[in-house]
């Protein structure tokens, strides 16, 4: 995942408190989905992280597909299934219809699971951005094949 840490982050969609129709969900409560459409064809899923009116979120870049593999394969049509922010949205069927919904209750939820040990979490520069390119706000598991396939 990658953090987009708010008004002072030039790579954040809400940089400088930019508040438009698109960025509105970022100003909602933590646990809100922020789903945006980019490059004319891809959806990307974020989870809002800060209290209302402080627009910050994390972009989900990869996950380990555990259940519903057949459905994911049908939606994606190819591998990898969930390595990459737009791939994972396609595999999970996430679209703009879920923009602004709660990720704590509803059809799309982020559950509390087994937390990785801190020493297994690695940081690095965020991918694919043109601003603040070397801020170490990408967090991932070094030994995870799913994130390595996410570039």
- Part in contact with DNA (CB under 7 A); list of ranges 66-74, 105-113, 123-131, 136-144: 123-131
76 in Cβ contact with 142 (< 8 Å):
no
Cβ-based nearer residue to DNA, 42 or 68: 42
The angle subtended at Cα 33 by Cα 27 and Cα 36, nearest 5°, is 90
61 in Cβ contact with 147 (< 8 Å):
yes
- Part in contact with DNA (CB under 7 A); list of ranges 64-72, 109-117, 125-133, 134-142: 125-133
Q: Which of 66, 67, 70, 78 binds DNA (CB under 7 A)?
A: 78
Decide: is 49 part of the binding site for DNA (CB under 7 A).
no
78 CB-near residues (< 8 Å, 6+ apart): none
% helix / strand / coil in the chain, to the nearest 5?
Answer: 20, 20, 60
Pick out residues in 6-45 that bind DNA (CB under 7 A). 11-14, 18, 20-23, 34, 36-42, 44
Q: Which helix (H) or strand (E) holds 141?
A: strand 138-141
Cβ-based nearer residue to DNA, 118 or 141: 141
Cβ-based nearer residue to DNA, 29 or 119: 29
Q: Under rule CB under 7 A, how many of the chain's residues touch DNA?
A: 38
Beta carbons within 10 angstroms of residue 11's beta carbon: 18
Residues of the shown chain interacting with DNA in the complex, contacts defined by CB under 7 A: 2, 4, 11-14, 18, 20-23, 34, 36-42, 44, 46, 57, 59, 76, 78, 84-88, 126-131, 150-151
């Amino acid at each position: 995942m990658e953090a987009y840490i708010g008004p002072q982050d030039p790579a954040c969609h809400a940089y400088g408190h930019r508040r438009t129709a698109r960025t509105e969900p970022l100003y909602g409560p933590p646990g809100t989905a922020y789903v945006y459409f980019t490059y004319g064809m891809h959806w990307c899923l974020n989870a809002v992280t800060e209290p209302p009116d402080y627009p910050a979120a994390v972009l989900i870049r990869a996950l380990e597909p555990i259940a519903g593999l057949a459905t994911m394969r049908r939606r994606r049509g190819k591998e990898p299934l969930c390595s990459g922010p737009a791939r994972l949205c396609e595999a999970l069927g996430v679209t703009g219809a879920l923009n602004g919904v709660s990720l704590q209750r509803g059809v799309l939820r982020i559950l509390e699971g087994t937390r990785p040990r801190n020493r297994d979490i690695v940081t690095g520069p965020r991918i694919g951005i043109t601003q603040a390119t070397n801020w170490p706000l990408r967090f991932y598991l070094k030994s995870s094949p799913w994130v390595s396939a996410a570039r």
